[in-house]
Amino acid sequence: MKRFGVFALSLAALMLAGTAVAGPRRVTDADAPRSLPAEGPVSISWSDPAEFTEIKRSLNRWEAERGNWVYDLANYMRQRSQDRLLPGETLDIHITDIARAGNYEPWRGLWLNDVRMVRDIYPPRLSFTWRKLDADGRVIDEGEQKLVDMAFQMGTQPLNSDPLRYEKRMVDRWVQRDLTDRDRDVSAR
């Protein structure tokens, strides 16, 4: 019996320690990062998430703020876009707004108040500015993007439980469309 008590106490201590190290629990926390750590050719920063459409227009602001989804999406953008750069090129991205696919519908009752309803009337949206620089620091390309996927639920989709799957698909399309150097063959790298 004592052995079980010690095990349970140890497990509880590990769980508490894990949550303390896991990072911010809310994207709007004052100590939550506003950029990815500097590494590699892609730097990504973002505006205050409290001003994002996802939180400002959410029907359950408390649930919309939970997690680390801004950091996760920015990290995904970095991973996908760095493969499209030639040696010496750098890319700066600043995320200005995010509205994730779906929304909360509190009128469905208390038991569904914290469930994100993913329906076609709540498409994912992502706005950001970007600038691609060559090895000498000269601007090669730049732009302001306002991505919206009105058909995010159309077509065949493999079973995917990633809560950012629709937003990541928009990022993939943007990377493929706008970060491909039209003058050089990207596949020749």
| pLDDT at residue 175 greater than cutoff 60 | yes
Domain boundaries, the chain: 42-188
| pLDDT tens-place string over residues 117-174 | 999 999 999 999 999 999 999 999 999 999 999 999 887 677 788 999 999 999 999 9
Write down the pLDDT at residue 181. 62
Both structure tokens of 116? 């994100």
Write down the pLDDT at residue 112. 85
3-state secondary structure string across 94-144: EEEEEECCCEECHHHCHHHCCCEECCCCCCCEEEEEEEEECCCCCEEEEEE
Write down the pLDDT at residue 19. 43
Task: Report residue 29's pLDDT band, with 50, 70 and 90 as the boundaries.
Answer: very high
| Whole-number percent of the chain with pLDDT over 70 | 82
| pLDDT at residue 185 greater than cutoff 50 | no
Write down the pLDDT at residue 157. 72
